[in-house]
Every structure is written in structure tokens, then in C-alpha cells.
């Protein structure tokens, strides 16, 4: 069984609910919790997650965040630039992301995580 990695923001209700679902179905020793605001994923890690999710970088960005609205809204960026923006501003990364093996889901709604458990 492969470990389940949860990119988690403890202040987010959806993230807490998704983590709870994972904890109910997976042994603690098989769960890796990444507090991504403290430990942002690298550009390579983000690209890997995007590939597993099957989405573009723009679809992983939280566009209602103040940081996005004040600094990036209305501007055009390449895929590479968007990845770098998320690495430098992890608050913009949609949450939570749950990864198991070569599959990933966004826990919005939290029930989505059951797809890969």
C-alpha cells in the first residue's frame, strides 16, 4: 500500500474534513501530512501534482485570495510562471490535495478524497 500524502492547511475547514476522511480509512503510519503553507511544494512537485490531477496550473490557483487579486489578476502568465507563483505564494494553492501513488484529487468537496483511498 502506498502512503497517502495530504497537502493540508489546518485553518481550512475543507482541508480538516478531508484529512479526517483520510484518517478514518488509512492507518496513521501510512499518512504523510504536509502543511504546505509552512513547507511549500517545489516547482517539480507541483508539476507532478498537476499531471496527476490532469489540470493546468491556472486551475489549481485560488483566484479569490487577496494575494492573487492584488498582484496577478488580469495578467497573462505561462504555465511555468504560474507554477513559480504558487511556489512563492503557497496560499494560492487550492486545498487540500490528497495524493496516493500516481493519483491525486482536490478535496473540494472532501468526499472527493474517497476516489483514491
Residue 2 binned pLDDT confidence (cut-offs 50, 70, 90): confident
Whole-number average pLDDT of the chain: 96
Question: What is the rounded distance in angstroms from the CA atom of residue 78 to the CA atom of residue 106?
Answer: 22
Residue 1 pLDDT: 60
Q: What is the CATH number of the domain that holds 96?
A: 3.40.30.10
Question: Whose CA is closest to 64, among 19, 10, 108, 115?
Answer: 108
Instruction: Look up 99 and say whether it is catalytic.
Output: no
Chain segment 88-116, per-residue pLDDT in tens = 999 999 999 999 999 999 999 999 999 99
- Out of 2, 4, 8, 12, pick the active-site residue: 12
Number of domains in the chain: 1
> Which pTM was predicted?
0.94
Average pLDDT over residues 74-99: 98
Chain segment 41-54, per-residue pLDDT in tens = 999 999 999 999 99
Which residue range is the domain that position 94 belongs to? Answer: 4-115
Amino acid at each position: 500500500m502506498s502512503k497517502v500524502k495530504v497537502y493540508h492547511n489546518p485553518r481550512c475547514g475543507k482541508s480538516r474534513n478531508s484529512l479526517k476522511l483520510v484518517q478514518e480509512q488509512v492507518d496513521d503510519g501510512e499518512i504523510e501530512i504536509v502543511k504546505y503553507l509552512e513547507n511549500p511544494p517545489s516547482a517539480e512537485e507541483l508539476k507532478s501534482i498537476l499531471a496527476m490531477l490532469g489540470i493546468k496550473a491556472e486551475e489549481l490557483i485560488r483566484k479569490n485570495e487577496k494575494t492573487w487579486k492584488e498582484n496577478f489578476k488580469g495578467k497573462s502568465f505561462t504555465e511555468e510562471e504560474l507554477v513559480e507563483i504558487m511556489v512563492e505564494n503557497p496560499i494560492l494553492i487550492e486545498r487540500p490535495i490528497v495524493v496516493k501513488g500516481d493519483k491525486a484529487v482536490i478535496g473540494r468537496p472532501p468526499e472527493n478524497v474517497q476516489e483514491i483511498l
